[in-house]
Amino acid sequence: ETVLTQSPATLSVSPGERATLSCRASEYVSTKLAWYQQKPGQAPRLLISDASTRATSVPPRFSGSGSGTEFILTISSLQSEDFAVYYCLHYNSWPPYSFGQGTRLEIK
């Protein structure tokens, strides 16, 4: 089973600054990786598919990169609505699908 490890667990960033979130896979997953945003009391929202393709209506300040085992989600200029928990998910070989444990992005 492929394990996804996200870092850091919590990231404190000021509005307007850049945030960089990492997701590392224990095995090769090609570019079969997605990123989700979850705000308190809400369902997750798909941000990025296939490591780097923004989902519909996702602002361009969100970008994804990486392949193989190392992936990055970058938020170029943080807005107040971006403070949330972010999860990565791999879908290269399943079952099972597996999520990372999440990175909490908080206001500094």
Which residues here bind other proteins, judged by CB under 8 A?
32, 34, 36, 38, 43-46, 49, 55, 87, 89, 91, 94-102
Q: Which is nearer to other proteins, 7 or 77 (CB)?
A: 7
Q: Which is nearer to other proteins, 55 or 72 (CB)?
A: 55
Instruction: State the nearest-atom distance from the C-beta of 11 to other proteins, in Å.
Output: 16
* Structure-token pair, residue 3: 């394990």
- How far is 46 from 61, CA to CA, in rounded Å? 15
* Structure-token pair, residue 91: 């879908």
Q: Which is nearer to other proteins, 17 or 27 (CB)?
A: 27
Instruction: State the nearest-atom distance from the C-beta of 83 to other proteins, in Å.
Output: 17
Query: Between β-strands 53-54 and 62-67, what pairing exists: parallel, antiparallel or unpaired?
Result: unpaired
Instruction: State the nearest-atom distance from the C-beta of 96 to other proteins, in Å.
Output: 4
- DSSP 8-class letter at 97: P
* Structure-token pair, residue 30: 């090609």
